[in-house]
Amino acid sequence: MCFPSLRRYEPDQVKRSAPNALSALFDSNVGLPQYCNRVYPPWTGARHRRRRAAPGTTSGGHRGRSRKGTGDDQAGRTPHAMVDEVSVRSAQLYLCTDARISEGDFVEFIDAAYSGGVDIIQLRDKTIEAAVELEYLEMLRDAAVRHGKLWAVNDRADLTALSRAPVFHVGQNDVPVAAARQLVGSGVSIGLSTHTPQQVEAALNSQALDYFCVGPVWATPTKPGRAPVGVELVAHAAELERARRDTLPWFAIGGIDLTNVNQVVDAGARRIVVVRAITDASDPTHVARQLRSALPPLPA
């Protein structure tokens, strides 16, 4: 594998170099920096035109095409190529975790989670500086590539671009989705948190999103002060989904664990985001497998 090292950044270097790095990344006449002999395809700042996937296609519109290839093929792929290969649309189990600095087992933990069936892992840690987050994103990226899974950045479009993350998630009060699209480019899947029926409907009608989350279903310490929406909003999203031929993939989120996952499934959810259910588990692999087995299969 040939990926740029993110560990060369010091905090002050990130502040100075990030604008120049982003400028280079989004200049349509300049390819991605050639950190190694492999030349990466250029990113451009072109307006994003997301095409809804037809039945039997991936989110990138590749009908019935498998791109897993051989080990040699996988060694040469870029993180962004993984969006087509392992699409958000096919994902069902999404994990948010901090950097686990106190535990000191970040790599071991994410390896265990991926091994148990987690499809996407998002690093969400407000306590670390940008340079440190880039180091952890490099570790997360390497684990995702090893397992053939996806990984995500929360809130920070600049770190998404610098780390070449294939998935970027924003909240209602974060950078607007249209602006996020201009910053991260068309090759990144963007997700949005929703908390009301109106926000769910707007997300379903959006042409700039690739997925959205519905919640928090139950109160959770990861979102203090956020009132739970209950399974009623999950049922509302499921009803809207059934009324449409083709909709965005969406995930129920907020306080979901093994004791209540059946309630969100009964309400119509087929995809979930979890935090403490796996981060607090003594055996993350086992819990991930149990959560995954509780989810209904996605329609073909």
Domains of the chain by residue range: 79-294
Beta bridge partners of 213: 193, 251
The answer to which of 6-10, 59-63, 127-131, 239-243 has the lowest mean pLDDT is 59-63
> Is the pLDDT score of 112 beyond 70?
yes
Binning pLDDT at 50, 70 and 90, where does residue 247 land? Answer: confident
The answer to which of 29-33, 93-97, 166-170 has the lowest mean pLDDT is 29-33
CB count within 10 Å of CB 217 equals: 25
Binning pLDDT at 50, 70 and 90, where does residue 225 land? Answer: confident
> Is the pLDDT score of 275 beyond 80?
yes
Binning pLDDT at 50, 70 and 90, where does residue 15 land? Answer: very low
Q: According to the model, what pLDDT value does residue 222 have?
A: 79
Please state the three-class secondary structure of the chain as a single string.
CCCCCCCCCCHHHHHHHHHHHHHHHHCCCCCCCCCCCCCCCCCCCCCCCCCCCCCCECCCCCECCCCCCCHHHHHCCCCCHHHHHCCHHHCCEEEEECCCCCCCCHHHHHHHHHHCCCCEEEECCCCCCHHHHHHHHHHHHHHHHHHCCEEEEECCHHHHHHHCCCEEEECCCCCCHHHHHHHHCCCCEEEEEECCHHHHHHHHHCCCCCEEEECCCCCCCCCCCCCCCHHHHHHHHHHHHHCCCCCCCEEEECCCCCCCHHHHHHCCCCCEEECHHHHCCCCHHHHHHHHHHHCCCCCC
Q: According to the model, what pLDDT value does residue 98 have?
A: 98
Higher pLDDT, 222 or 250: 250
State mean pLDDT over 124-141: 97
Q: According to the model, what pLDDT value does residue 63 have?
A: 30
Binning pLDDT at 50, 70 and 90, where does residue 21 land? Answer: very low
Binning pLDDT at 50, 70 and 90, where does residue 85 land? Answer: low
Q: Report pTM.
A: 0.75
Q: According to the model, what pLDDT value does residue 173 have?
A: 94
Binning pLDDT at 50, 70 and 90, where does residue 226 land? Answer: confident
Superfamily (CATH) of domain 79-294: Aldolase class I (3.20.20.70)
Say what percent of the chain tops pLDDT 90: 67
Q: According to the model, what pLDDT value does residue 249 have?
A: 96
> Is the pLDDT score of 206 beyond 70?
yes
Say what percent of the chain tops pLDDT 70: 72
State mean pLDDT over 167-193: 95
Q: According to the model, what pLDDT value does residue 262 have?
A: 98
